[in-house]
């Protein structure tokens, strides 16, 4: 018997057509931005709005730092305070998750057709105002050259972890970034630090079956720990579920144990893994190699606070690096406005080609 043929139905696409990010090679731009974090993105958008051509280069993926945060991280900040480019950010829960933020910034980049070259590492910046040269290397090792009239450095602080400078820190079992608890089930884990990252990692590890010891050089869990995390960690410590040593430091890490210096003397603990979550700092060497100078205190880059132009004419600093070592002073909530400050200055200097650009937008 002949099989009846079904009427032809038009194939329904799995997803709606989407705008794609620009990808064609381009070596000349008005403004080259190093770093595709929330700040770099906000800068590109504001510069485009001011009528200039902006190009972002990032050594990793889009919003690389947020991508590398703990997998199940929940922001402290409510979504509207993370918005850039006047694009609303709404979430069903009061606080956005890391995944919400990744989705949001990706959509914003698409919406504004941000020209971002990802997985390209900016190695050197030479030249001068109106004629900067930027050399990058991509993940295949190929070198690329760009020319730009202006430069914005928005390189963040999350790539370089503060080191403990103790023996054993370079062992494979020692991490400076925490992602997920599963691999550490039924193991002895030491968490070093007393701020958000350490408190959250300790709780997550404990909840997923690790035996957790927390070591902090301070006398207690830091005051700035998220208001819903602090009582949780303090109660786990009180209940003896997480062992905590305050006013204590790690002296040495060995393959099978750690040695602590505590107020009651030296302590040797059995250990499988160590999370040293003691903060991060900007890449001062890279910034210095571009000619940026630093104030002696707190390693803040020298810049005009009104325009964010650094001591190098035509080179701007933006985002968390503006705060130097005080990385808790500038975050997405306030760094997201740096793009507007810089775009306004550029419009004044270069004569903004977009008459609609509001010079008073801050």
Ligand X SMILES: Cc1cc2nc3c(=O)[nH]c(=O)nc-3n(C[C@H](O)[C@H](O)[C@H](O)COP(=O)(O)OP(=O)(O)OC[C@H]3O[C@@H](n4cnc5c(N)ncnc54)[C@H](O)[C@@H]3O)c2cc1C
DSSP codes, 162-187? PP---TTTTSTTEESS---SGGGTTS
SS3 (DSSP) at 122 = strand
- Residues within window 268-307 making contact with ligand X, judged by CB under 6 A: 283, 286
48 touches ligand X by CB under 6 A: no
DSSP state of 319: G
x/- track of binding to ligand X for residues 197-236 (CB under 6 A)? x---------------------------------------
Within 8 A by CB and 6+ apart from 87, the residues are 104, 107, 108, 111
Judged by CB under 6 A, the residue of 29, 33, 38, 324 near ligand X is: 38
Residue 319 within binding range of ligand X, rule CB under 6 A: yes
Check residue 324 for interaction with ligand X (CB under 6 A): no
Q: Is 342 in the site for ligand X (CB under 6 A)?
A: no
Return the residue of 29, 48, 155, 213 that touches ligand X, per CB under 6 A.
155
Residue 196 or residue 248: which is nearer to ligand X going by CB?
196
Spatial CB neighbours of 36, under 8 Å, sequence gap ≥ 6? 56, 57, 58, 61, 62, 63, 64, 109, 116, 118
> Applying CB under 6 A, what is the total number of residues that bind ligand X?
34
For ligand X, the closer CB: 67 or 185: 67
Per DSSP, what are the bridge partners of residue 118?
none
* Member of 29, 31, 33, 39 binding ligand X (CB under 6 A): 39
Nearest distance, CB of residue 143 and ligand X, angstroms: 13
Distance CA 213, CA 127 (A): 51
Contact 288, 309 (CB under 8 A): no
* Token pair 């709606």 in the structure block, residue: 16
Check: CB of residue 119 under 8 Å from CB of residue 60. Answer: yes
104 binds ligand X (CB under 6 A): no
Find the shortest distance in angstroms from Cβ 52 to ligand X.
19
Q: Which stretches of the chain bind ligand X, using CB under 6 A?
A: 34-40, 57-60, 64-65, 69, 73, 75-77, 121-122, 154-156, 158-159, 197, 283, 286, 319-320, 331-333, 335
């Amino acid at each position: 018997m002949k099989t009846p043929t079904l009427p032809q139905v038009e194939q329904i696409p799995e997803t709606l057509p989407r705008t794609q990010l620009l990808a064609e090679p381009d070596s000349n731009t008005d403004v080259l931005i190093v770093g595709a974090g929330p700040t770099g993105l906000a800068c590109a958008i504001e510069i485009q709005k001011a009528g200039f051509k902006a190009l972002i280069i990032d050594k990793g993926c889009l919003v690389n730092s947020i991508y590398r945060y703990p997998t199940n991280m929940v922001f402290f900040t409510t979504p509207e305070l993370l918005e850039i480019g006047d694009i609303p950010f709404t979430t069903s829960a009061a606080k956005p998750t890391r995944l919400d933020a990744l989705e949001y910034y990706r959509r914003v980049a698409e919406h504004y057709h941000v020209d971002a070259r990802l997985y390209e590492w900016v190695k050197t910046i030479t030249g001068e105002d109106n004629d900067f040269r930027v050399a990058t290397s991509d993940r295949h090792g190929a070198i690329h050259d760009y020319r730009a009239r202006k430069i914005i450095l928005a390189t963040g602080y999350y790539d370089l972890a503060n080191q403990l400078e103790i023996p054993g820190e370079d062992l494979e079992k020692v991490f400076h970034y925490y992602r997920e608890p599963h691999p550490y089930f039924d193991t002895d884990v030491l968490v070093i630090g007393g701020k958000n990252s350490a408190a959250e990692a300790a709780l997550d590890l404990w909840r997923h079956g690790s035996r957790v010891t927390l070591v902090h050089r301070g006398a207690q869990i830091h005051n700035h720990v998220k208001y819903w995390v602090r009582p949780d960690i303090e109660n786990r410590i009180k209940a003896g579920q997480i062992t905590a040593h305050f006013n204590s430091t790690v002296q040495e890490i060995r393959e099978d144990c750690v040695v602590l210096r505590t107020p009651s003397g030296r302590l040797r603990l059995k250990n499988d893994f160590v999370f040293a979550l003691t903060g991060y700092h900007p890449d001062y060497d890279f910034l210095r190699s571009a000619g940026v100078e630093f104030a002696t205190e707190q390693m803040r880059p020298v810049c005009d606070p009104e325009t964010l132009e650094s001591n190098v004419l035509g080179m701007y600093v933006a985002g968390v690096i503006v705060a130097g070592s005080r990385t808790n002073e500038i975050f997405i909530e306030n760094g997201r406005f740096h793009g507007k400050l810089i775009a306004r200055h550029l419009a004044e200097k270069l004569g903004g080609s977009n008459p609609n650009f509001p010079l008073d937008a801050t």
